[in-house]
Copies of this chain bind each other. A is one copy, B any other.
Amino acid sequence: MSGAITGTKTGNESNLENAMQLMIQTFHKYSGNEGDKYTLSRSELKEMLTQELGSYLGNPQDKDAVDKVMGDLDANNDGEVDFTEFIILVGALTVACNDFFLEFNKKNEEKKE
């Protein structure tokens, strides 16, 4: 059985399997702290944003910023972020990073010409 599925590291994972494993591990690291252990409460979300994405999201200590992310993600409006909602956040951020990275490369190439 693949390590990425069971969440244990076997050392034979591809880069993409590693990425999937890291996303699963990160979610459960924070979701287990209080309440429903399979969802992120508002304070678990804040902790996750601060620890994992501080450099992307500016200052997530800012209560309004956490409320905004929670409002955008919590599609079913239950005050909790589930795993699918978390993956949508990470996916959207990754697409934004990739766009930024391509733009950055394009500008560098233009400079060289």
Please give the count of copies of this chain that the complex contains: 2
Shortest CB–CB separation between residue A32 and chain B, in angstroms?
12
**Contact A17 B100, beta carbon cutoff 8 Å:** no
| Chain A residues touching B, majority SS | helix
Partner of A56, one of B2, B25, B100: B2
Instruction: List which A69-86 residues lie within 8 A (CB) of chain B.
Output: 83-84
> Which residues from B are CB-within-8-Å of A27?
98
What are 17 A-B residue pairs whose CB atoms fall within 8 Å in the complex? Answer: A4-B55, A5-B100, A5-B104, A6-B101, A14-B26, A14-B51, A16-B23, A16-B26, A17-B56, A19-B19, A19-B20, A19-B26, A20-B93, A20-B97, A24-B94, A87-B91, A88-B91
